[in-house]
Structure 1
Amino acid sequence: MSQLIKDRRSIRKFKSDKVSNEILDELLEIASYAPNHKLTQPWRFIIYKDEGSKVLANIMAETVAKGPKKKSPEEVKARFESIPVHILVVINEDSNYFVREEDYAATCALIQNFQLAAWERGLGVLWKADAFLTSTEFRNGVEVKPGEKIAALLQVGYPDIIPKAVQRVNISERIKLIDKNIE
């Protein structure tokens, strides 16, 4: 498991190979075993694949067309259509701040579980949490309800290019150890 965690990469270029519904169901089932305070299980998933990727690509193109333009709607549409699977991870936004934070943390653990289980099966994932997820245009297009938050957009497929590992900060630089009583 340690090596799996170290080897996993964010994938930005996917092969066109299809991903089966059975594999996606299995991965989401495994991911759902994330630690979750009081088992609120606040998540739901909207999956766009095959012809459905074109639906999401159109929504993205419309969103980009009405926002600040870094890329053209056509570029965005082509990019989104080329990705085999998109999974929107949607969570309830509890009115209680602490429950909301715990739910988001649990959802992030679920996403990491998903990424690791996918990597183990030869699938790559890109976890996107960009500003477009909060835009009214995008939220309306994907039918996210008031009181819900899009925690992430996961792009999933078989990796075409696997990036090299990036050196991490030496973790000892980020640790403050207190191992005795200070009086």
Structure 2
Amino acid sequence: MNFNPEWLNEVIERRRSVYQQQYTGERVSDAIVNQMLKNANWAPTHKLTEPWRFVVFTGDGLLRLAQFQAEVYKKVTSNDNSFKEDRYQNLLTKPMQSSHIIAVGMKRDPKKSVPEIEEIGAVFCAIQNMYLTATAYGVGAYLSTGGVTYFEDAKEFLGLGPDDKLLGFFNIGMPNRDMPHGKRKPIEEKIRWIDK
């Protein structure tokens, strides 16, 4: 294998969360989204459980997602008097700004005793693979854990069972400008070497 490590380093450093207000409205190719998902499938996974599950919304599917999540939000928050009209309207309209939205779930395998945190970690590794693929193709993306992510009522619609988890919504769109380099504190502040 003959890889270019400098290219990989650049892709990792250039990865950014690119939000819906930074999208042009241009549709991302389904082929690129499919490649993102193929690369997600190569994430590390303990006992090969492959716990990641994806539901891709695009076209009229975005409207279906918007209506579903707004109604779930209204139903759940009406019970505890925490309903906010502006949040409801946001759930109805914001998905339409993305080219694609991928609901990301973690599916438990009852036959394999893998700690839940390891399964969640595997799914987040899959998400990172999608982020890096998006960056390599010049596509904007970000993971949202807002909306109905933590509402039990949202899981069935997405094919998840009671022991599974909805981990968020991966938004995809064409960025309206080049994304600047990000900022990180020096890695030396976060490492302790023990060599004796």
Please give the TM-score of this superposition, normalised by the length of structure 2: 0.80
Unmatched tracts of structure 1, length 5 or more: none
Unmatched tracts of structure 2, length 5 or more: 1-7
Q: 2:67 aligns with which of 41, 52, 58?
A: 58
1:6 paired with 2:22, answer no
For 1:146, the equivalent position in structure 2 comes to 162
Aligned length: 180
CA deviations on 1:73-93 (whole Å, 9 max, x unpaired) are 223211112211110111123
Instruction: Give 1:16 shift.
Output: 1.5
4+ residue segments displaced more than 6 Å? none
Asked whether the 8 Å contact 1:11–1:161 carries over to 2, the reply is: no
- Report the more deviating stretch, 158-167 or 33-42: 158-167
Q: 1:88 aligns with which of 103, 108, 120?
A: 103
Asked whether the 8 Å contact 1:45–1:90 carries over to 2, the reply is: yes
Q: Secondary structure at the match of 1:89?
A: strand
Instruction: Give 1:71 shift.
Output: 3.1
Please give the TM-score of this superposition, normalised by the length of structure 1: 0.86
Instruction: Give 1:39 shift.
Output: 1.6
Letter in 1 for 2:39: I
1:134 paired with 2:150, answer yes
Instruction: Give 1:164 shift.
Output: 3.6
Letter in 2 for 1:47: V
Q: Against the structure 1 CA distance between its residues 162 and 146, is the aligned structure 2 distance closer, same or farther, given a 3 Å change threshold?
A: farther
Q: Against the structure 1 CA distance between its residues 26 and 52, is the aligned structure 2 distance closer, same or farther, given a 3 Å change threshold?
A: same
CA deviations on 1:12-33 (whole Å, 9 max, x unpaired) are 1222222233222222112211
Letter in 1 for 2:42: Y
For 2:28, the equivalent position in structure 1 comes to 19
Matches for 1:89-128 after TM superposition, within 5 Å: 89-94=104-109, 98-128=114-144
